[in-house]
Amino acid sequence: MVDEPPETLSREQLDEQLAKQACEVVNTHSEYCTVFRTQLGPHSIISGAEVDCIDRAKPHEFPNRSYRELKTSRCLDSEKARNSFERFKLLKFWAQSFIAGIPVVTVGFRDDEGRLKEVQDIRTQDMPRMVRGKPRMWEANVCMNFANQVLQFIKDNVTDGGLDAQYRIEYSPEEAQVQIYSLGKRPSFLTAEYIKSLSK
């Protein structure tokens, strides 16, 4: 992680910072998070996401268009490996990046010893087309409809308790159903400023 925006540094300063970091132990607790608002059907969603990196200087408007996700996967050296990647990993990559508006996922393909063999940029909007028409694959519209139904189910069933009520929401794949459990009243994670703004 570079301490200052890269565009404010000279090439020499940037190279110096990166060279210094190349010898340091990676800090896996360091992260950059973004909060965004999006719409799914009639549902307005405010969410947060950890972002791996940015392509260029962060613009003031629509900064997520410059964000990039970094992923790893085992090399696709067989039809079985490719099918598994497209059916499971690509779905996760798409869902995470689509909802946050991240346009590109960079995937590093590694061998069984963990050595990087290939790097591929995959545009988020292209992922559903990569699996369209293939047997036993996912469909973006089915995923979005499911998410829409889950949000409506939550709205219909979380109706009381005020701002200090908390719930646990679980999905059981075996039963193919969503369950909501009330945890009662607990201290809110919402800030006092936010709660006050709701009463205006």
The answer to whether residues 1 and 30 touch, using CB atoms and an 8 Å cutoff, is yes
In whole numbers, what is the pLDDT of the chain averaged over residues? Answer: 88
Distances (CA, A) of 35 to 30, 45, 46, 105: 17, 10, 7, 19
**pLDDT exceeds cutoff 70 at 148:** yes
- pTM for this structure? 0.79
What is d(CA 99, CA 35) in angstroms, rounded to the nearest whole number? 12
**pLDDT exceeds cutoff 80 at 157:** yes
Residues 6+ apart with CB under 8 A from 168: 180, 181, 183
Percent of the chain with pLDDT over 90: 48
Task: Express each pLDDT in 106-123 by its tens digit.
Answer: 999 999 999 999 999 999
